[in-house]
Structure 1
Amino acid sequence: MNNNWFRRLLLSYLPVFFIVTTILFIIFFQLFNEQNRKEALKANEFLASQVMQYLDNSLRSIDFKVLREILTNPDLKNYYTAAGSDDVYAGIQVLEVIDELKINFPLIDSIYLVRYKDNIVFSNGKAVPIEEFPDASFIEESRSNPTRKWVDFRNFKALPLQSAQQVVTLVRGMEGGTGLMVVNVDLQTLRKSIMQMYAPEYTFVNVISSSGGNLWDEHLPESGGAKPASGEVFSTFTSSYSGWKVETGINNGKVVKFALQFYNIWFAFAIAVVLIGVIWVVYVTRRNYKPIQQIVTLIQTVASQKQPGTSSAKENEFRFIQNTLERMIDQTKQYQEKYEENLILQKKYFFQELLEGTRPFTDGELQAEMTKFKLPELDCRWMVMVVEIDRYPQFAVDYHQHDQTLLKFVLSTVLQESAQQEEADVWAEWISERRLYAILWLSETALSEQVERKVLSGYLEKVGQYLNFTVTIGTGGVATDLRGLRASLKEASHALDYKAALGMNRVISCGEVPDSKNDVYEFLKTISLLVQAMRLSDETWEKHFERLFDQISASVLSRQEMMNTVQLLFQHYNREFAELPREYQELWSASFGRLLRGLEDWEVLDDLRLLCWETFRELAEQMQAMRCSKKHRTHILEIRKYVEENYNNPELSLNYLSDLFDINPKYLSKLFKDEIGEKFVDLLISHRIERAKQLMLETDRAIQEISEEVGYTNYNSFNRAFKNVVGVAPSDYRKAI
């Protein structure tokens, strides 16, 4: 292809470039405008639903709270049954109820109470006759229509000289038709709350009442009539609770609508441009077909076969060229990926063969494998280390499988970086889930041990600094041949078994592993004393338990040796509890099951100690409770009879009964709950209050005397207990009967 052909091709397709670019710009802006409209519709629909939900929730909450106060508040009921308007105490109590409603619901502007029996309105802490109250006409209208609940917006003023405020009103009748409770919600406050949900400069919200009035119109007409929206209405919601309708839209909706009218013109123009471009491309392609044909012929000659699905290169030359190149690229990429995957697996397999000794290597074979995987040349000093993730079960719970793989890769990478900082080489592979095995190359210099310590200490420091978990490292001895390398692996794994005794987040060298002092006779002696004390519910079992684990700690045992000791302890428990009654055997069986499940996850001796301690302590408490239950359950009916006969004794209490019947107070309380079905205090109060009600019904004695007779030396305590049980004060109860 010469320069003349290049210039001709460039000039041929340059107009097409401008045409296609123009079309793309038109389509982009058209789609952009259409997408904006759709998003605006969705946003307005969501806004309308949120406004409606807020209005319904606010009005429902106020209505529910008011209705609940009417039905349950004794102070409110007392006000409507009071003797007259001069009952100051009843007014103070009901004023507290009103203030609490205003505090809990900031939307409430005012509340006033209407009492029919004396035609009094209680508003702002004052009682005035209905005819003197500015809202008298509304009261009479509500009195004649008792089914009203929420009244659409209206003008309200609590005082004659006060300016009127726009409110919506909740009217609730009192029980028995004794009056009304009128709650006014400030429309301006409600509007400000809703305006925080949107930007008024871009969006408008209209709330239309059931009578057709616009709640947002600051000059409400007397006959209603909605204020026209400031733009096109995009979404409308109607409340099934209040009957109000919410309308939302964009302020400049007319401008958007006008702009969208050009859609058909833009579309027709784009079609025309596309047709012109197609004609131009066909014309230019016919003139420049020969050079392309030469390229296709060359590719067909080189390629072994054509792409499946194409009948001839003449029908779709560019597709033929593209598919041929893509097939070649894909084949190359797949081959490269498979080669790298196989290389990784082969390297890991070679690592296992090297450490486990499953394959014999000659010097030549070993050198060839090391060169293949780009590993350092073999020197005469190697060392194996094993890195174990501490608290691996918790690690598996805290992190997803993908995150676990990533963190394990980080552990391997950090180890390599730590070795590189000390100019050493390391080869690490994850052979098991929780353990990273590594080979560290050591030089012949006398400073090799110093390099080893720096690598491992630097590795632990970085892990503790950058990761949220720790690792423990076991190291083997220095090896000079393959047999020594495999022995170093065994030494490193053996050293790591002593993590249970020596602790986590450290390096355990095979040379630091102490000789175990496993004195089986001393263990058996302590275990025997522990099990015997537990069987007899003797509290000295705790001392023997601590002594046993102190012996295990002092002996510096490996994990397996600790497990053997614990298994010996379990065997003694099984033998001793086999001689006890069935219920005790079941207790031990349940505890033993929990122990077996917990033994799968412990890592250090303190974990094992805590697991056994909690299980044995719970077992001891259950055995003690079972023994006490058998001993004292027969006395519970006698104790109940004593309470029923001596309920008027002011000193009667759990401590009094425990001293009298020689039973622990806490256990006595549990017996009352389990056997009688109620607490001791509830039983005692029930008898005293029933007797007090009987005395008030049958006698004219003073309430103070009745209080003392039923066992209350303090009248306030009697008054509080009576009100909690009966629901009203003793004096009110006597008036009612």
Structure 2
Amino acid sequence: MLALKLKHSRVFRSFLISYVLILLIPMLTGYISYLVSSNIIKTSSLEASAMLLSQSKDILDRRMEEVENITRQLSMDQDLNYVMNERVDGDHFNVYAIWKSWRNTAAYSLTNNFLEDFYIYLNNYNVIFTPSGVYVRPEDYYDLFHYEGMNRDQWKQEILGKLHRREVLPSQPFNNNGKKTNVITYLQSLPFESFQHSLGTAVILIDENEIAKMLEHTLTQYSGWAYISDKEGRTIARVGIEDAQIKALHVPDPIDGRTTHTLVDDKTLLISSKSTFNGWKYVIGLPKSNVMKQSVFIAQVTWTITITTLLFGIVAALLLAYKNSAPINRIVTIFREQTGQAGYKAKNEYDFLQGNISTLLASQKSLEDELKQQQPLLEDAFLKRLLRGEFESLQEIRTLLDSMPNMKVKDASGYVAILRINGYSGLVSQEIIHELNAARLLMKKFLQELGSVLQINVTDMDSEKMAILITYDEADASVAAEEIAAVFDRLREHVREEYRMHITIAIGNGFHALSDSSRSFEEARQALDYSVLLDEAQTCWYRCIIKESSSYYYPIDLELRMMNAVKIGELPEVRRIFDGLLEQNFAERQLSADMVMQLFGELKGTFHKLLQHNPFTDQALAEGLKPRVEQLQLSMSLERFRKEILGLLEAFCSRVLRKKEDSTGEMIHKIVSFLEQHYSDADLNLYRVSVAVELPEKYISQLFKEQTGENVSDYLEKIRIKQATDLLFNSEHTIDEISQLVGYNSAHAFRRAFKRVSGVSPSSYRKTVN
């Protein structure tokens, strides 16, 4: 149900959107990295292909330059020039000169693989030199070596009869002694610088396959096609492409010596370059799919990783959003239930919490300010109640003292004094009241500034009287009385000199617990009444006045304090009150036998009153205590009297303590039972335990720690780990499933807790027991 609510929670959606946005950042980074990698691969592939193309271009340029240089050397050959310029009469041949010239020219075929097939035509002799021999009749050469589609007359006219200057003919089909091939023809008239007519023609037949090998080397990695065209756009050589396709490309001419890249139809990458030697254009066409094959592989890997990471990231985002939004939703729900709001009064939960928390803080600040303003009044009221003996127990006094940190009261020994300003009794005019108020304020300030080991607190009794509570540490008890006397002497001297007033100070006997300060206050009151018998204002100590022995001391407030201490089982307090009672009656008074009997009757009546209150109304308890009360007899021995009364008081306190222990044991059992029944709930916490047992969280935590020696959370963890060990031993559940079954939100938290408690990991434990 909670998970369903969270799915529709704005906090859950906010967390989820934030995590998804954070998740998209590395995804976007990965995508950008892929684009950069793809571009780098494309660029490097094109650069590598361009480099190979440039190398092929440079090689071919050198070969063609060598061909041109050879034709220059032929034109400068003396024997060949002699034969070309020799006048020929009829059929007369200078056989030796022709043979010598042929021998010189045949050697050039070894210098360049492009010169394997070449011939030189001499116009005057009408003969053809070839590396393999001399053809006296050109027709015989034509029969063996000729272009397909070019007859003999065209051959003589176009090839042998024209003037050629470094002319290159595109690739043409050629019959090489019966072998079909394609050749590129290089033509140069001899001599080299012939401008009007030539004496001969050097014809070099370059096998297209020789050039194609260079282009194929460039295409080895990515396949594709390539071609070379001359300045006029005629195809010199081609690989993997037809002439019609070349014409349809319309590749722009690159700048001489530079390489350009072009994308055609989004499928083919073109790399073109132009020779600075002869103006030929070199073009390579690479299929984009082949060039980007590595990039496609990287894309597949990248997208696979990206999608997988995205899926896992979304799952993690859902879990984190749930984990982080659940506490906020619970807090919002608690606020809404406690404040009674049916809906949110803000745009979102954060504004709602901020508004409510701000309101709480403002309210708390306002309360603190009000408390600070009321603090002096609260402290004065506390002091008056303390002196009147209105508190039921010492624990109540200590609790209230903890809430008033500014009050200077030590929970130790002390005295109570009453100060009276003499001479104003019965005077009630407005002027006198103002004068007394001012005098009291000045004396309060003076008292608070005096005393090195004393803590002094003052409260007004009426217009002319003040009650003074003096406390000190037990270690300073030996000097306390002297210090008190010195303080009041200085006060009396100060008031007389500065304000012309006389004061009387009455001090009761000392006390050793704040709960007994009311007795000292009552004694100070009696001492003040006694001080009227003195002739002048002075400090009157209760211990110094004459004690009346006509009546016993057992005031109603003292009886109530002792009864309250018994009912809550504070045995030390009970003993202290009872010992103080004995001291007042038997150490400071001389009681008659009748007074002792009456005091004993009052004490016995106190026990009967206790039997009417919880936890002594239970029949089983009363049966044991009531007979003891009835059998209580007065003893003439003070020590025996003390033991009998104190023994009965201890019996009453023991009953209370046992009842408390039984109640505490029952409460601990209830808490343990609830934990054992609900340990599998991942949201189980101290608040839910407190609701179940109907006690405050702080009290439960303290009580459980005192009784068991460990915290509630540690005990719950041990229960969960114990159940987990049983499941690991007796079930086939996975560790993740077990972590959920025993109340953990995540397997990681379960593994850490299991190792912390048992010392080994869950998987190691399962292997060990199996």
Please say whether Structure 1 and Structure 2 have the same fold, judged by a TM-score greater than 0.5. Answer: no
Q: State which structure, 1 or 2, has the greater radius of gyration over its C-alpha atoms.
A: 2
TM-score, L = length of structure 1: 0.30
TM-score, L = length of structure 2: 0.29
Higher relative contact order (CA 8 A, sep 6+): 2
